[in-house]
Amino acid sequence: MAPEFAPAPLEFAAVHRIEFADTDAAGMVHFSAYFRLMEATEHAFYRSLGGSGFVESAEGRQGMPRVSASCDFLRPIRFEDEVEVRLRVREAGDRRIAYDFEFRVRPTSELAATGAMTVVYARRTGGGRFASAPLPTFLRNALAGGNPTARTSPPA
C-alpha cells in the first residue's frame, strides 16, 4: 500500500438552491438532502479539476463509493434558501480521500451544518465485485500539487 500524503489545503465551494423536494412537511431541509448536496458538491469538484467520479476504461467501470458519511445539523435550512457547500480535502492517500463539508446559508454565511465523507476509488472486477484502485490521474495530480481551488459554482 502506498504511503499517505498530506496535500496543501484543497478546497472547493458550490452554491445550491434548496428545492421543494429537498424539504420535509415543515419546510426544512430533510436530513437525507444534506448527503445529496455533499455528493453534488463532490462531483462538481471533480469536474472543476477536469475529471469525473465515474470512469469507463479498458479495465472496466470505476467510481468513488462512499465508505463513511456523517452530518451534524446546527440550524434549519429552508425551501428556496441558497446554500454554499464548502468541501475541503482533509486526508488523501493513493486510493482514498476524506472530505470535510460546511453548509453556509447565503447571504449571511451562517454555518448551518457540517459533514464528513470518505470515499475510495474502486474498479469492478470479475464476478461483479469491486476492488480498490489508485486514484485517477487528474485527482492524484491535483492532490499531490496541493493545487488550491476556490471556484464557486452558481446555484443549481
**Domains in the chain, CATH or no CATH each:** 11-153 (3.10.129.10)
Give the pLDDT confidence score for residue 20 in this predicted structure: 96
Q: Using 50, 70 and 90 to split pLDDT, how confident is the model at 8?
A: very low
Looking at per-residue pLDDT, the higher value among 67 and 153 belongs to 67
**pLDDT mean over 121-150:** 77
Q: How far is CA 49 from CA 45, 99, 151, in A?
A: 7, 16, 10
Q: Which residues contact 32 (CB under 8 A, 6 or more apart)?
A: none
Give the pLDDT confidence score for residue 9 in this predicted structure: 58
Interatomic CA distance for residues 36 and 18, integer angstroms: 11
Give the pLDDT confidence score for residue 123 in this predicted structure: 84
Instruction: Please name the amino acid found at residue 7.
Output: P
Burial of 2 (0-12, 13-18, 19+ CB in 10 A): exposed
Average pLDDT, the chain: 85
Q: Which residues contact 122 (CB under 8 A, 6 or more apart)?
A: 62, 63, 64, 65, 130, 131, 132, 133
Interatomic CA distance for residues 125 and 117, integer angstroms: 24
For the cut 80, the answer to whether the pLDDT of residue 44 exceeds it is yes
What is the pTM (predicted TM-score) of this model? Answer: 0.84
Looking at per-residue pLDDT, the higher value among 130 and 20 belongs to 20
For the cut 50, the answer to whether the pLDDT of residue 93 exceeds it is yes
